[in-house]
Amino acid sequence: MTQGTQDDLLVELSARRFSVGFSVFFFAFGIAAGFLMAFAGLGFLEDSAGVIAGVFLVALVGVALAGLIIFMLRRQILNRIFGIAEAQVELFAGPLSGVAEGAASRDPERAIQSARRFIQLALARYAWLATRRWIMTSLTALIAAMAALAGTALLFNQNDLIGRQSTLLAEQNARIREQTMMIAQDVQLAEAARNAQLVVEVTQIAALLGAVADRTAPETGVQGSAALVPMIDPFRDLGQGLIMRIAAVSQSMQPYRFLDTGLNVNDPSDRMRVAMLGRRDDLPGVWAQLTAMNGWRETDGANRLIDRPASPERGLLLRVLVASGLRELQLLSFFGLDLSFAHAQGLLLPMITLDHANMAYADLSQAELREASLAGAVLDNARFRRATLTDTRFFAIGDDPLRNPHQTPGDVYAASLLGADFSDAVVTRADFRSVNAMAAVFDGALLVEADFSEAWLGAASFRGAILVGAQFEGAALQSLDLDGAILFGDDPLSMLEAQAAPGSFRADRYRQDRVDLADVMQTGRMYDLPDPEPVIALIGETPAWRLIRTEAF
């Protein structure tokens, strides 16, 4: 192989290696930039924008300068490499004719020399075209890369702006919800202001009832522990005008939602919760134990509207009627006394008769009812949460139409307790016979000798309740939820299935686990009993069982 051929091969290999190396360099640079942008995102792009732009500009200027230098020194470069300063197409004719003439004249030396000259011209021409193509391709690639990078930056910036816009929209929606809540509060508080004007009527009724009590005090009364408690007989002591006035005022009061401070003055458990708030961080174990025992819930401390409409004015009217000495309110109910939605938490109702009263949605949470009668009353969705009911009856047979205009002798009157809530209540010797208590809630309640005979308890809930001596003879117990409830007896599931209306209770949905009486005393409302001895005596040696629901309804 001649020296010229070796030089040509070296030049070709060098050009090929340079092209491959340049391509690999930009490919690696593209991969690195792509990974950095994929993992670092817009933040990296923003932070390194100057460096990236500088790299591209330096590369662009470098390629442009290299191309300019090669163009200006192309003659010297071609002459040094190929020994030819020009490689135009017209120059190819001479070597080609020399090859032809050498072949025709059988002159191998001339033909070889002409062929070598032709190859040198072809390589010089190809090298210049390849160099020029490389310069233009590199410039175009760099410009395209910068444009692509700018498009990527704009895309990332657009995504970032969309994310910020979404955040702003979420904040705007939150502000709109707060504004809507404030508007709702304003509307409800405006209704509260309107109803507050009716409190004047309640105070006037209180003054009239006080005058009646003063007038009747010497004639009748019940001897209390410290003073004579006045008793007003509505059939004898109240005039028709006052009765109609009380009924009209109760009907003019409308329920509304008012601010809930999150504090319940009538609930000792809630008062203890507030008292322990300052020590919850110092005594986390005690706080957790009390929270589990009392069912405390976390609150955000914000004043919000109560969960459903209520009427504090009707609750105040009921308090006035009871405090004045009225115990038999069935006559007022007959003439239209409306106590629905009455908000009367913590009210003491001793020996009160509210037969046939309209008390739907009333809130008597933490109230105490002793020897009260609510037979035939409408108590749908009423609340008796953490209330104490002793010898209270929701069922009666009409026997005295003179004292109760609603009744006819021999007729049966049972209260309507649809959805009534007795959660965590203490109910002793209550008469629930024949009541309609569908979907009623007795979760966590203590029921001692409660009688649910012939009652409708479909979809009612007794989760976590404690039932001591409860009766369910003929009761409809479809889908009754007793998960976690504690019952007493040798086989409470079989007893319930035998007592309930045929086919209404499925014992196979539950299993019963034996529990100790000491554990029972620490659950539910048992630990709140001021005197648990009567309940313990009633239980005796009877075994206790916790029911666990094992399948869905």
pLDDT, residue 275, reads 87
pLDDT, residue 465, reads 95
- Three-point CA angle 453, 455, 460, nearest 5°: 120
Quickly list DSSP for 114-125: HHHHHHHHHHHH
* pLDDT bucket at 3, cuts 50 / 70 / 90: very low
> Highest-confidence range of 6-10, 57-61, 92-96, by mean pLDDT?
57-61
Q: What does the mean pLDDT of the chain come to?
A: 79
Lowest mean pLDDT among 25-34, 363-372, 492-501: 25-34
Cα gap 345→366, rounded to integer Å: 6
Q: Which 8-state DSSP code applies to residue 275?
A: H
281, 285, 290, 295 alpha-carbon torsion, rounded to 10°: 80
Residue 495 predicted with pLDDT over 90: yes
pLDDT, residue 226, reads 36
Three-state DSSP class for residue 352: coil
* pLDDT bucket at 329, cuts 50 / 70 / 90: very high
Contact 457, 442 (CB under 8 A): no
Taking residues 298-322, what's their average pLDDT? 84
pLDDT, residue 172, reads 87
The shares of helix, strand and coil residues in the chain, as percent rounded to the nearest 5, are: 50, 15, 35
Taking residues 348-355, what's their average pLDDT? 92
- Three-point CA angle 217, 222, 224, nearest 5°: 110
Question: 440-465 pLDDT, tens per residue?
Answer: 999 999 999 999 999 999 999 999 99
Q: Which 8-state DSSP code applies to residue 230?
A: P
Taking residues 292-297, what's their average pLDDT? 74
* pLDDT bucket at 103, cuts 50 / 70 / 90: low
Element (H, E) at 527: none
pLDDT, residue 224, reads 43
Cα gap 231→219, rounded to integer Å: 9
pLDDT, residue 519, reads 86
* pLDDT bucket at 176, cuts 50 / 70 / 90: confident
pLDDT, residue 46, reads 56
pLDDT, residue 165, reads 87
Taking residues 291-314, what's their average pLDDT? 78
Residue 315 predicted with pLDDT over 60: yes
Tokens of 194: 């309107």
Contact 496, 476 (CB under 8 A): no
Contact 266, 365 (CB under 8 A): yes
Cα gap 370→514, rounded to integer Å: 33
Residue 257 predicted with pLDDT over 80: yes
Cα gap 206→195, rounded to integer Å: 17
Residue 475 predicted with pLDDT over 70: yes
* Contact residues for 503 (Cβ-Cβ < 8 A; gap 6+): none
pLDDT, residue 137, reads 72
Cα gap 373→360, rounded to integer Å: 16
pLDDT, residue 221, reads 47
* pLDDT bucket at 311, cuts 50 / 70 / 90: very high
Rounded to two decimals, the pTM is 0.68
Cα gap 375→451, rounded to integer Å: 14
Taking residues 72-82, what's their average pLDDT? 63
Q: What percent of the chain has pLDDT over 70?
A: 69
Lowest mean pLDDT among 85-89, 286-290, 393-397, 432-436: 85-89
Of residues 101 and 44, more confidence is placed in: 101
Question: 198-220 pLDDT, tens per residue?
Answer: 888 898 999 998 888 888 776 55
Distance of CA 227 to the CA centre of its chain: 52
| C-alpha distances in Å from residue 436, one per residue of 126, 457, 468 | 103, 7, 21
Cα gap 79→93, rounded to integer Å: 19
Element (H, E) at 134: helix 108-196
Of residues 196 and 168, more confidence is placed in: 168
Cα gap 394→357, rounded to integer Å: 11
Residue 9 predicted with pLDDT over 50: no
Strand ranges inside 139-238, DSSP E:
222-223, 228-229
Taking residues 507-526, what's their average pLDDT? 87
Residue 36 predicted with pLDDT over 50: yes
| C-alpha distances in Å from residue 23, one per residue of 29, 196, 369, 417 | 10, 85, 92, 84
Cα gap 177→179, rounded to integer Å: 5
Question: 357-392 pLDDT, tens per residue?
Answer: 999 999 999 999 999 999 999 999 999 999 999 999
* pLDDT bucket at 75, cuts 50 / 70 / 90: low
pLDDT, residue 289, reads 80
Nearest to 515 by CA among 529, 526, 507: 526
Question: 120-174 pLDDT, tens per residue?
Answer: 666 666 666 667 676 777 667 666 666 666 666 667 677 778 888 888 888 888 8
Residue 227 predicted with pLDDT over 50: no
